C-alpha cells in the first residue's frame, strides 16, 4: 500500500524513518479525519517486524480480523482508515509475529487511555480546545529566564489534595484550587510530576506506557489543557517532569512492541535498567529519536507546556549507571559514555529551542558531566538549566548536624560557590528528598521540635538567597513533619498548628522578598552578582555574603548564623557606606522566632572589617537568617543596633 491511499505523506514517513520527524504525532496514532467523501479514523502504527497488524476495539467486539492494517511500503508503518468511527472509541493494536503469535498492544501515540487497570487506547481529537493564553504567549517571546525570578512549586497531583482513597481531584478542580494557592504563596511556576499515562500509582508517573496520553486518573486531555490555560492566564508557568530515559515492561506497553525490541534495542544488557526494573530506549535508532523528540514538542505544541524537567540524565549518558558487572557494556571507543544518548540529548535541545526559543529545558543530572547547560555548538548538551544536586546534598547533610559539630564541616555550606556559575543552576528541594526513609525537610533538621523550625527557616533563607533558581516540593512550605505519603493527601491539618502556620507565613513572605529583590535572580548566572564578605568563619558557623543587581547600588547583604550561640554585638563588613535595613529576619516572632521586628536603618561605621572599609554591628540570634537592604547615602547617625529579644 502507498502512503497517499490512507492520507499519509511520504515525506513525513521518510523523516520519521530518518529520525527527523519532530511532529510525528500528527500522522501516527489514531486521527479522526476525512478520506475522500468518508469521515472516520485513520490508524497508523510503527511495527517493522510484524507479520500482520489489526485494529481491535469496542467497535468490532475486540476482534481485529476484519480490520487488518496494510504495510506502507518499506517504512515499517502500518495504516488503516476505518469509516464511520468517532472520538471515544476504544481500541488496541493486535500484532502477529512471524511464528504466528498474536498479542494486543496499546497505541504508543494514543492521546488518551483508559483509567488503570484497564489499558485500551481511546480515539481522541485534541484540536477542539479553545486557548485563551495569547497574552502569556506574547510575553514569553520577550522572556529571559536567566534574568527573571523562577520559584517552582513541585506537585504530585495524586496527593496534593485528595477527596478520598484513590478519589483524586481532576485537572479542572486543580485549576480551581491549586493555581490560586500557588499564586497566594508567590510561586512563579508549577512543575508537575509526570502526568503521562502509567499503570502503577507507586511509580508516580516515572514508568510510562503512554507518552502522548495525559493520565486519565485526573480527567481528560481537555481538562489538562484547561489547567495549563488558567495557569497562563494568571501568570504561572507550567513545567512537566519528562522521562525519556526508560519505560516500564508492562505487556501492553512499548516492550517487544512488535515481538522484537524496536524501542529498547537488541542488546539486552544495554536495555536493562535493573535498579528500576525498566528498559532504556535505543537512542541510536532513528525512529525512536523521532518518537521521543516529537513527544517533547507535543507537550509544548498541543498542551502549551512551558518547559521540561528531563529526568535521570545521568542514567542516560552513563552505560554503567547502577548496573552490575554482568550488564556492563562499552561504546565503540571502549568507554562507558552512551554516545547515542549524548547525541540524542543535544538534538533534543536543539530542536526544542528551534521551535520554542524561550522554553525551559532543565536537566535532572547527578553526574559531573561538564557543560550540561552550554550550547551544543560549544560542545555542551544544550540544556538551559540543571539541578544542583551537589548543593542540595551538602546542605541537607550540614543541616542534620548538631550545631556544635558544624565547626568541622563548614565547607559543606561554602563549597557550592566554587562551581555555582559553572552551569545555570536550579536549587532543588524535591520529592526525592522526602521519601523512602529520608524524612521530611523539617525532620531532617537537628535539635528539638522548636529548633527544627528555626533550622528550617534559616536553611530556606540561605537557599533563597544563594545563586540559582528555586524549586520546592509541596508540603515543604509549612514544614510537613512526616515523609511524603504518595497515596494520601498532604497534611493540611498542620496549618491549624501555630508553628506550622507561622512557617507557612515565613515561606510566603520569603517568596515575596525573593520576587521583589532583583539582585536575588537577575544575575543568577553571573559571578559578578555574588560576593563573600565572611566565608571562613567556621569557629562561629556564620557566613556573610551579598547579592548585587544589574544596578551596582542595588545590594542585599545576608547573614546566616548556623550556631546555637546568640552574638549580641556581631560586626560585619559592608560593601558600601550608607544605611542597611533588615528586610527579613527568620527569628521574627511573627514567624515563630523570638525577635521583635526592627526596620530602623543601621548606619555603617568607618571601622574596617572583613576586608571592607565600612562595617556595622548588630545582634545576631542563634539559628537565624538576616537579609539587609542597602540604602545609598551617608550614614545618618552612629548607633549600636540590636534586635530586641522578645522571649
- Report the catalytic residues: 311, 364
DSSP state of 287: H
Three-state SS for 456?
helix
DSSP output for 294-329: HHHHHHHHTS---EEEETTHHHHHBTTTT--GGG--
Beta bridge partners of 614: 574
Are the C-beta atoms of residues 360 and 424 closer than 8 Å to each other?
no
Cβ atoms of residues 338 and 319 within 8 Å: yes
Q: Which residue has the cell 550540614?
A: 398
Query: Considering Cα of 130, then 132, then 135, then 139, what sign does the dihedral take?
Result: negative
**Cell matching residue 497:** 498548628
Query: In angstroms, rounded to a whole number, what is the distance separating the alpha carbons of residues 513 and 71?
Result: 61
- For 639, residues 6+ apart whose C-beta sits below 8 A from its C-beta are 603
| Run of H or E residues at 189 | strand 189-192
Q: Which residues of 519-542 are buried (b: 16+ CB within 10 A; e: fewer)?
A: bbbbbbbeeebbbebbbebbebbb
Secondary structure class of 238 (helix, strand, coil):
strand
Whole-number Å distance between alpha carbons of 543 and 558: 8
Distance CA 249, CA 341 (A): 20
Distance CA 332, CA 434 (A): 40
Q: How far apart are CA 157 and CA 177, in angstroms?
A: 12
Please give the Cα distance from 468 to 104 (Å, whole number): 47
Could you tell me which residues come within 8 angstroms of residue 85 by beta carbon, excluding any fewer than 6 positions away? 32, 40, 41, 59, 123
Amino acid at each position: 500500500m502507498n502512503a497517499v491511499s490512507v492520507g499519509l505523506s511520504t515525506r513525513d514517513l521518510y523523516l520519521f524513518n530518518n529520525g527527523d520527524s519532530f511532529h510525528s504525532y500528527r500522522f501516527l496514532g489514531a486521527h479522526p479525519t476525512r478520506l475522500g467523501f468518508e469521515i472516520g479514523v485513520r490508524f497508523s502504527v510503527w511495527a517493522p517486524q510484524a507479520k500482520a497488524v489489526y485494529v481491535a476495539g469496542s467497535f468490532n467486539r475486540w476482534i481485529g480480523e476484519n480490520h487488518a492494517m496494510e504495510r506502507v511500503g518499506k517504512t515499517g508503518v502500518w495504516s488503516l482508515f476505518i469509516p464511520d468511527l468517532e472520538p471515544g472509541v476504544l481500541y488496541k493494536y493486535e500484532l502477529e509475529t512471524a511464528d504466528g503469535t498474536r498479542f494486543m498492544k496499546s497505541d504508543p501515540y494514543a492521546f488518551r487511555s483508559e483509567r488503570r487497570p484497564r489499558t485500551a487506547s481511546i480515539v481522541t481529537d485534541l484540536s477542539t480546545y479553545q486557548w485563551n493564553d495569547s497574552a502569556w504567549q506574547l510575553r514569553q517571546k520577550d522572556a529571559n529566564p536567566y534574568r527573571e525570578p523562577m520559584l517552582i512549586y513541585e506537585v504530585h497531583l495524586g496527593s496534593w489534595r485528595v477527596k478520598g482513597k484513590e478519589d483524586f481531584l481532576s485537572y479542572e478542580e486543580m485549576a480551581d484550587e491549586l493555581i490560586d494557592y500557588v499564586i497566594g504563596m508567590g510561586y512563579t511556576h508549577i512543575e508537575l510530576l509526570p502526568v503521562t499515562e502509567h499503570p502503577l500509582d507507586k511509580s508516580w508517573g516515572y514508568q510510562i506506557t503512554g507518552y502522548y496520553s495525559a493520565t486519565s486518573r485526573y480527567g481528560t486531555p481537555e481538562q489538562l489543557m484547561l489547567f495549563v490555560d488558567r495557569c497562563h492566564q494568571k501568570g504561572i508557568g507550567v513545567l512537566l517532569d519528562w522521562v525519556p530515559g526508560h519505560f516500564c515492561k508492562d505487556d501492553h506497553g512499548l516492550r517487544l512492541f512488535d515481538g522484537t525490541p524496536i524501542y529498547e534495542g537488541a542488546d539486552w544488557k544495554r536495555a536493562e535498567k535493573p535498579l528500576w526494573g525498566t528498559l532504556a530506549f535505543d537512542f541510536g535508532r532513528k525512529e525512536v529519536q523521532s518518537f521521543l523528540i516529537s513527544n517533547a514538542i507535543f507537550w509544548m505544541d498541543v498542551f502549551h507546556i512551558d518547559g521540561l524537567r528531563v529526568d535521570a540524565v545521568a542514567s542516560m549518558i552513563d552505560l554503567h549507571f547502577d548496573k552490575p558487572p554482568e550488564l556492563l557494556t562499552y561504546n565503540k571507543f571502549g568507554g562507558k559514555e552512551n554516545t547515542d544518548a549524548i547525541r540524542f540529548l543535544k538534538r533534543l535541545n536543539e530542536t526544542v529551542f528551534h521551535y520554542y526559543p524561550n522554553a525551559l529545558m532543565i536537566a535532572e543530572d547527578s553526574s559531573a558531566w561538564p557543560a550540561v547547560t552550554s550550547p551544543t555548538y560549544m560542545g555542551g548538551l544544550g540544556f538551559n538549566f540543571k539541578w544542583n544536586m551537589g548543593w542540595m546534598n551538602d546542605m541537607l547533610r550540614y543541616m542534620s548536624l548538631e550545631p556544635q559539630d558544624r565547626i568541622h564541616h563548614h565547607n559543606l555550606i561554602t563549597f557550592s560557590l566554587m562551581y555555582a556559575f559553572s552551569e545555570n543552576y536550579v536549587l532543588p528541594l524535591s520529592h526525592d528528598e522526602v521519601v523512602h526513609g529520608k524524612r521530611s525537610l523539617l525532620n531532617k533538621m537537628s535539635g528539638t521540635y522548636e529548633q527544627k523550625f528555626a533550622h528550617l527557616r534559616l536553611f530556606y533563607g540561605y537557599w533563597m538567597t544563594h545563586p540559582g533558581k528555586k524549586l520546592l516540593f509541596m508540603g515543604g512550605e509549612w514544614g510537613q513533619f512526616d515523609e511524603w505519603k504518595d497515596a494520601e493527601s498532604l497534611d493540611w491539618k498542620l496549618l491549624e498548628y501555630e508553628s506550622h502556620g507561622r512557617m507557612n507565613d515565613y515561606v510566603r513572605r520569603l517568596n515575596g522578598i525573593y520576587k521583589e529583590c532583583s539582585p536575588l535572580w537577575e544575575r543568577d548566572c553571573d559571578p559578578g552578582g555574588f560576593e563573600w564578605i565572611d566565608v571562613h568563619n567556621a569557629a562561629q558557623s556564620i557566613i556573610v555574603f551579598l547579592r548585587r543587581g544589574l544596578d551596582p547600588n542595588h545590594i542585599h547583604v545576608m547573614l546566616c548564623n548556623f550556631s546555637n550561640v546568640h552574638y549580641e554585638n556581631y560586626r560585619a563588613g559592608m560593601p558600601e557606606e550608607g544605611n542597611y535595613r533588615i528586610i527579613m529576619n527568620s527569628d521574627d516572632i511573627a514567624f515563630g522566632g523570638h525577635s521583635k521586628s526592627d526596620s530602623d536603618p543601621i548606619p555603617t561605621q568607618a571601622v574596617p572589617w572583613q576586608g571592607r572599609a565600612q562595617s556595622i554591628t548588630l545582634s545576631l540570634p542563634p539559628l537565624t537568617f538576616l537579609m539587609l537592604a542597602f540604602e545609598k547615602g551617608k550614614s545618618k547617625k552612629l548607633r549600636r543596633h540590636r534586635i530586641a529579644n522578645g522571649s
